[in-house]
Amino acid sequence: MIDNFAGKMPTLTGRSFRQRPLIDATLYLLCALLSLTLSISAKGQDLTEIELPTPEICFGLRTIVEPQALAVCSALDANLRIRARELAEQWLTTAPDSAAAHYTLAEVLLSVEGNVPRALFHLNQAEAKSKIRSFDQMIEVSAEAPLDAKPETPLWHYLTLNQLASVHQLIGNQEDSLRYLDALTEAYGVNLESYKGWPLIKLGRFEDARQSALRVLAAEDVDRFSEAQAWNTLCAVELSEPQENLSAPACDKALELDEAAQSDRPELSTVTLTNAAEVALSRLRVDQAENLIDRATRYPNPSSVSNPWIQKLYLTLAQGRFDDAQSALGQMLIWRNRQDPLIGVSNRAEHFLVSAAFLLIAGYTEDAARLAESALNQPDRNGNFSADDAQKDAIAALLTTLAYRADYERQLEHAAAQDWQLRLSLVAKAQLTRLAAWRAGRRAASLFANAEIMRDRLRPYAPLDVHIPEWMEPEIAKLLGAGVFDLLIADAEIRGSFRGAAGYKHVFETETAALQEEFDRVISEGMLALSLLPSAEVLLRARVHWHLAHAHWSKGDALMARSLLSTSLRQDPSLARRLGGNIPIALSHDGSELALALASKLAASPRFDATPEGLALEIAATSLCLRDSEGAVLSCYTPKSGELDPAEMAVEFQRQLFGIGVDLSKAQLSALMGASVVLRSQSYGSESALPNF
């Protein structure tokens, strides 16, 4: 997913191009009002009596002369946001027909509250009430004005059109954004060709975007910024089409220009680096991508919609580096809390989705489902993302389905360990979760059935789409059906989606073969997948190992099945629960009453299939150990003193076996759900950490 952010005018830079987000206005105003009340009561002084220095730059200009506007800018510079809002409203009350007053209030609504609908209303009013509407009128009015006339800023209409172009991009009205860019060019003679690339990319008009960028580069007086913008546009166009190879020269040139333009700074911007990382991932250069992400994490950028810790979390999770993933999760929350208020609404769903993916792997299935469902219902602004709402909804629905399915399986495990009366009740209750999984699955299937959504979905690390982790994408085959998915694979191969990435094609072929129980094809396709997949795709390889193990087991090769199954469990212990599968186990016990009870309860679990040729599960009165095909320990559980209830021991053993060793507190889960909690860190960067996370 490419990000775009550069203030008021859209800039093109990386995997998800982004701009500026919204804020929870009510919460912010309550907090600000409390702060204002305390300040007044403590000092006994009205904030309006505090004199602030006149700003040199107001709304990006040095030519603003209206004292009301300058007062608002002074308040904004001093972070007195409530005062800025009050001053803007007072001005509009006294001058309801003033285009400048409407524009000023719109700016405050955007920067303080993120209230885009109200801001858009006042921007439309400012446009309608503007008296000077072109450069020629500016000259004419200036020439006819009396010498003693009170000065006015002549550029309010220019600022209004500028902001309208930006806001319409933010809310996804790209045609209107282009219209206002053209209006600016026509009225004021400014060349804004370099800003048209992003709206054209969002509209899917890639050839028009290419031609626009080439016109920028062909100009004799092209500046460094516009040149970088044009190459970024060409980079996005380049990434939108399957390549004969994994080269992307326009992206290389864009990064080179960005580095040259910012050579006087210690680091590139967050968006530049994260977008470069996405380009590297699209070429399957995982190490290079992680290096760029790590560079981006060193310098917090509150005004950027990019959060590099999101990418770090996805990357480490896919590689089975669970400790690093947990650390990235904590840093992601710290970064989120430091972002500007308007940013939070644009990327809130993205935070929810990556958090839900982590919770799913960690075994917190119920919380994962709640987060994914929240993301599905988030009305995020997508104007700064190369992906659109339909793509975000598709991944959110898929993740919701997987979380509910896994939670249903977890509930069955718990029910199997109970006495029969309670077991029946718990199994009946679990059917509600199963129904929720089915409903989310139907919604996900309908979204993925859209040809536009699936256009590049199977392309590994598709750079202009919402990121669906590669270890999760095979689940789409179950949603759409093996036959439909086979057709999609064939179509994707024709379009070149697997050029340079054939291993991923064979993963999908393995998945459809497993669904159709074609075990010979599972083995042939699975072995090809393992030989061609990057070694960094640990979770995806674990899935292939799982299917291979069950194919060999079905063909009677228990020795090979045990070996493959052991590898799969070491790489991704959550997979058995997520797939609703079972593990063949050879039960042995010490003959004690407790061990016999445990053996009975574990044999009843949907996760295990008791057979003499399975993996060894040794049960004693004080411990339970599952061993791999070589006899080494896969997982051992020892209950704490006094916790010798067979049902509790059976449940805890499975929680540990199918988890990744992560224990989250209620406060940490609340932080992930977006509750108002205090996140503290001693420092920021690679050495900081979220306490107790």
- Which tens digit of pLDDT belongs to each residue from 449-475? 876 667 667 888 877 767 789 999 999
Task: Say how many C-beta atoms besides its own lie within 10 A of residue 642's C-beta.
Answer: 6
**Range of lowest pLDDT (287-301, 426-440, 676-690):** 676-690
pLDDT digits (tens, 9 = 90+) for 194-225: 889 888 988 889 899 999 999 999 988 888 77
What average pLDDT does the structure give for the chain? 82
What pLDDT shows up at residue 509? 96
Owner of token pair 């574990």: 602
Q: Strand 624-627 relative to strand 633-637: parallel, antiparallel, unpaired? A: antiparallel
- What number of helices (H) and strands (E) belong to the chain? 30, 5
Q: What is the dihedral of CA 354, 360, 362, 368, to 10 degrees?
A: 80
Question: Which carries the bigger pLDDT value, residue 397 or residue 25?
Answer: 397
CB crowding 355-380: b at 16 or more within 10 Å, else e: bbbbbbbbbbbebbbbbbbbbbebeb
Residue 11 reports pLDDT greater than 60: no
Question: How far, in Å, CA of 85 to CA of 102, rounded?
Answer: 12
Nearest of 274, 282, 340 to residue 307 by alpha carbon: 274
**pLDDT confidence tier of residue 46, bands split at 50, 70 and 90:** very low
Question: Which carries the bigger pLDDT value, residue 45 or residue 474?
Answer: 474
Which segment, 225-234, 522-531, 587-596, is predicted with the most confidence on average? Answer: 522-531
What pLDDT shows up at residue 693? 39
Q: For the chain, list the domains and their CATH numbers.
A: 25-288 (1.25.40.10), 582-662 (no CATH)
Residue 676 reports pLDDT greater than 70: no
CA distances from 655 to 43, 236, 329, 391, 425 (A): 56, 44, 21, 33, 21
What pLDDT shows up at residue 258? 67
| Cβ proximity of 12 and 233 under 8 Å | yes
Residue 565 reports pLDDT greater than 70: yes
| Cβ proximity of 624 and 617 under 8 Å | yes
Average the pLDDT over 566-571 and give the result: 96
pLDDT digits (tens, 9 = 90+) for 348-363: 788 889 999 999 999 9
What pLDDT shows up at residue 254? 74
Burial of 228 (0-12, 13-18, 19+ CB in 10 A): buried
Q: What angle do CA 72, 99, 80 make, to 5 degrees?
A: 15
pLDDT digits (tens, 9 = 90+) for 175-193: 999 999 999 999 998 888 9
What pLDDT shows up at residue 317? 96
Q: To the nearest whole percent, how much of the chain has pLDDT over 70?
A: 81
Which segment, 69-83, 297-311, 632-646, is predicted with the most confidence on average? Answer: 69-83
Q: What is the pTM of this model?
A: 0.81
Question: How far, in Å, CA of 377 to CA of 243, rounded?
Answer: 35
Residue 249 reports pLDDT greater than 60: yes
